[in-house]
């Protein structure tokens, strides 16, 4: 799909109508507007687990995918099964064409050590593009306070990178609200969160954080990189912010 399924005016109207609404209200709007052409991508982070709990009550048949790079923690993969047992939601594992072994052999070793942007692009961005199918919109679990890129997002926006409407129900939440919801509703979550991993991605590029550090300080630690590219906003000229 090469053109927006919502005009700029319609997106602005949706944002005005959804401003201040709860994540559940935003999800109900997205389901009414787009389902069955609606999908969600999750890395099984705490935020994504909250959204899956909500979708289990609102519309459990929304297609949910995980971009399985081949480098995920075992705890992350096991969480998929716990989500399935709890909610009956079988998250679809979307994988790159090449296995980790094939990919590293092709490049003479792992790229995450010196070309992490390409590794993320090859093992996340491309698989997501190929998995879109007939989807017209996708749900993400980003929060405004996580990074500068995410701070520029809106509740409803046109995602030029994937030619989809993007819906961000948790945009206005903070970390404390996420964890209050998890505790209040006994939502399954990754046990690595209890081991100083507030943000969890691929194991080679995720480290525990120290006391007082930013919650994403363990992602690509020691580098300026803070995003895999999924949530970088692209302008018409192709540049990102």
* Residues 203 and 195: beta-carbon distance below 8 Å: no
Q: What would the pLDDT profile of 65-75 be if each residue is shown by its tens digit?
A: 999 999 999 99
Q: What is the mean pLDDT of residues 172-193?
A: 97
Q: What would the pLDDT profile of 91-125 be if each residue is shown by its tens digit?
A: 999 999 999 999 999 999 999 999 999 999 999 99
Catalytic residues: 228
Phi, psi of 100 (to 5 degrees): -55, -45
Q: How confident is the model at residue 240 (pLDDT cuts 50, 70, 90)?
A: very low
Q: Residue 236: what pLDDT?
A: 43
Three-state SS for the chain is CCCCCCCHHHHHHHHHHHCCCCHHHHHHHHHHHHCCCEEEECCCCHHHHHHHHHHHHHCCCCEEEEECCCCECHHHHHHHHHHHHHHCCCCEEECCCCCHHHHHHHCCCCCCCCCHHHHHHHHHHHHHHHHCCCCCEEECCCCCCCCHHHHCCCCEEEECCCCEEEECCCCCCCHHHHHHHHHHHCCCCCHHHHHCCCCCCEHHHECCCCCCCCCCCCECCCCCCCCCCCCCCECCCCCEC
Answer yes or no: CATH 3.40.50.620 is held by domain 8-205: yes
Residue 84 scores a pLDDT above 50: yes
Q: What is the mean pLDDT of residues 158-172?
A: 94
Q: Residue 228: what pLDDT?
A: 61
Residue 195 scores a pLDDT above 50: yes
Binding positions: 119-120, 202, 205
């Amino acid at each position: 799909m090469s053109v927006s399924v919502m005009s700029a005016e319609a997106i602005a109207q949706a944002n005005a109508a959804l401003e201040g609404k709860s994540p559940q209200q935003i999800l109900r709007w997205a389901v009414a507007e787009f389902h069955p052409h609606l999908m969600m991508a999750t890395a099984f982070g705490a935020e994504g687990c909250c959204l899956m709990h909500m979708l289990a009550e609102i519309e459990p048949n929304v297609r949910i995918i995980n971009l399985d790079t081949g480098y995920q923690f075992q705890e992350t993969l096991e969480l998929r099964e716990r989500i399935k047992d709890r909610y009956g939601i079988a998250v679809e594992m979307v994988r790159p064409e090449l296995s980790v072994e094939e990919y590293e052999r092709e490049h003479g070793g792992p790229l995450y050590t010196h070309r992490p942007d390409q590794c993320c692009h090859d093992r996340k961005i491309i698989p997501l593009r190929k998995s879109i199918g007939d989807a017209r919109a996708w749900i993400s679990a980003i929060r405004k306070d996580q990074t500068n890129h995410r701070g520029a997002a809106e509740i409803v926006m046109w995602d030029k990178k994937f030619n989809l409407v993007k819906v961000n129900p948790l945009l206005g939440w903070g970390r404390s609200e996420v964890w209050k919801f998890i505790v209040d509703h006994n939502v399954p979550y990754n046990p690595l969160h209890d081991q100083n991993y507030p943000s969890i991605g691929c194991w080679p590029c995720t480290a525990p954080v120290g006391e007082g550090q930013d919650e994403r300080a363990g992602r690509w630690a020691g580098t300026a990189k803070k995003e895999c590219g999924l949530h970088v906003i692209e302008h018409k000229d192709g540049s990102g912010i």
